[in-house]
A = this chain, B = another copy of it.
Amino acid sequence: MPKQVDHQERRETIARALWRVVEQRGTTHLTLREVAREAGISLGQLQHYFASRAELLGFAMDLAGEQGARRVGRALAGLGERPHPRAVLRAMLVELLPLHADSRVTSRMSAAYVLEALHDEEVHARARGALLQGRGAVEQVVRQAIADGLIAADRDPVVETDLLLALTGFTTLLELRVVEPDAVLAAVDRHLDGLFAWEAGSAGP
């Protein structure tokens, strides 16, 4: 099915053009026309692949999400055969934060997508679905670590998962250079130390 492959390839090329526009000129005035110009095609050609701004943004977000998952996968593969859950959670969190160029584009696009979601039910449902899926993956690691005795049994896995996800709040602090990357990594490590250091907890053995 070479036709279908071409179609998918063209859609990915357009999504990458969108990423470049987001990275270079921001999302405030993002238009399909601008993305078409960046992709070197006409607006009409772009609209053949994406009927609306929301559809293009959704596709570009999905593609960015897949690439992010692949980056996390590579980071986990580098941790050996049975990585410690602390290292797994750290790799997931670090990938979500705008600490390098690839994740910065994803993070900026996500921010624009969330704003769009507030006034577009379809975008809202899609963004919510992706976040719930990510939340589920983190909660699974937390629950397994509790089952394995690596996190204290009196910790609530739902609360601890929410707290881990909330650390994505470092995104804004990084983007505005209120906190430097080293300080963010120190804080993430401090949080993970507190989560896993159950010898130190009052409920410890």
- The listed residue (B165, B169, B178, B194) touching A132 by CB distance below 8 A is B178
Pick the residue among B114, B128, B159 that contacts A190 (CB under 8 A).
B159
Q: Which residue of B lies closest to A132 (CB)?
A: B178
Within 8 A of B (CB), among A112-169: 112, 114-119, 124, 127-128, 131-132, 135, 156, 158-160, 162-163, 165-169
Select A163's contact among B132, B135, B168, B191, beta carbons within 8 Å.
B191
Q: B202 contacts A199, CB within 8 Å?
A: yes
* A175 part of interface (Cβ distance < 8 Å): yes
Partner of A178, one of B28, B135, B176: B135
Q: Which of A165-194 contact B (CB under 8 A)?
A: 165-173, 175-179, 183-184, 186-187, 190-191, 194
Q: Are A166 and B165 in contact (CB under 8 A)?
A: no
Q: How many copies does the complex hold?
A: 2
* Chain B residues, CB < 8 A from A170: 162, 166, 169
Count of chain A residues with a beta carbon within 8 Å of a chain B beta carbon: 51
**Contact indicator B118/A175 (Cβ below 8 Å):** yes
Interface centre among A25, A159, A166, A184 (most CB of B within 10 A): A166
Hey, which chain B residues are within 8 Å of A26, CB to CB?
115-116, 118-119
A111 at the binding interface (Cβ < 8 Å)? yes
Supposing A166-B170, A202-B197 touch, asked if A117 and B159 sit within 8 A by C-beta, the answer is no
A108-B118, A159-B186 in contact; A173/B165 too (CB < 8 A)?
yes
